[in-house]
Amino acid sequence: MKVSVFENKEEGSKDLALLLVNKIQEVLLKKSNCVISLATGSSPIILYKELIKILKFKRVSFKNIIIFNLDEFIGVDPNSINSYNYYINNHLLNHINISNENINLLSGNKKNIIEYCNSIETKIKKYGGIDIQILGIGRNGHIGFNEPGSKKNSLTRKVKISRDSISVLSKDFKNANNIPDEAITLGINTILSAKNVYLMAWGLNKAEIIKEALEGSIGVACPASFLQLHNDVEFYLDKNASSKLS
């Protein structure tokens, strides 16, 4: 595990954006595509802004980049402002030159969810697996919507969103009474199978869970703790989020 601590989220996000662009280029030198799985939430917003800037400046082509995302609400229209589809398009994909056939954002509107989730796993494998997984972390240690209780071998599936997460989401959700309590998420196993994982956490309210994830025991109580088992995971933290690490 590598831990990098920055003065603030702006500096951390800039650094990670540069690192990701280099990583993408490195991957594309070795193989014909680079598969990236994106996170939502407040943590990656500056990262995506910085990525857009660098990609335009460096003229990095997105031709061979395949995009997946981590999670999506069940029953929320992908075009709705509350959907994670909307978030990813709005914060990143609408601003870069990428063809639709390379975009695989999760849909929360499928009739046969089990079949759909299995098809996502198959698709990721077909592309050769995830090269770069971007993550945030929930206050309760969730990654994607793998809430406490999620098992290490879990795959893409339908999950219940915890009460704690619903209360956090209510701050950003337009129409807070209507927050869904189910989602689709890539599983812990799916995330751990990614070749490189980058987790961002900013602010004091993440300090406790960051300590638990990095220094606590590995297990279902804190799903992010499973990242301790990954060979190539990097934590991008600001001073506050790192303040409880020993």
Could you give the residue numbers annotated as active site? 71, 140, 142, 147
Yes or no: say if 107 and 74 are a contact pair by the CB < 8 Å rule. Answer: no
Question: Mask 178-197, x = binds ligand GLP (CB under 6 A)?
Answer: --------------------
Q: How far is the CB of 213 from ligand GLP (least distance, A)?
A: 12
List 4, 42, 80, 109, residue binding ligand GLP (CB under 6 A): 42
Beta strands in the chain (DSSP E): 2-6, 34-38, 65-69, 71-73, 103-104, 132-135, 157-160, 182-185, 196-201, 233-238
- Complex with ligand GLP: residue 26 or 75, whichever CB lies closer: 75
Q: Read off the tokens for 210.
A: 């960051």
- List Cα–Cα distances, 210 to 173, 233, 238, in angstroms: 25, 14, 11
* 160-179 binders of ligand GLP (CB under 6 A): 165, 169
Q: Read off the tokens for 234.
A: 């990097």
| Cβ contacts of 222 within 8 Å, gap of 6 or more | 140, 141, 148, 209, 212, 213, 216
144 is a site residue for ligand GLP (CB under 6 A): yes
* 67-86 binders of ligand GLP (CB under 6 A): 70-71
40 is a site residue for ligand GLP (CB under 6 A): yes
Q: How far is the CB of 45 from ligand GLP (least distance, A)?
A: 8
Q: How far is the CB of 63 from ligand GLP (least distance, A)?
A: 27
List 43, 154, 156, 225, residue binding ligand GLP (CB under 6 A): 43
99 vs 78: CA distance, rounded Å: 18
108 is a site residue for ligand GLP (CB under 6 A): no
The region of 40-48, 90-98, 115-123, 229-237 touching ligand GLP under the rule CB under 6 A is 40-48
> In degrees, to the nearest 5, what angle opens at C-alpha 237 toward C-alphas 49 and 90?
25
Yes or no: say if 120 and 196 are a contact pair by the CB < 8 Å rule. Answer: no
- How large is the C-alpha radius of gyration of the chain? 17
Q: How far is the CB of 88 from ligand GLP (least distance, A)?
A: 11
Site residues (vs ligand GLP, CB under 6 A): 39-43, 70-71, 136-138, 144-145, 165, 169
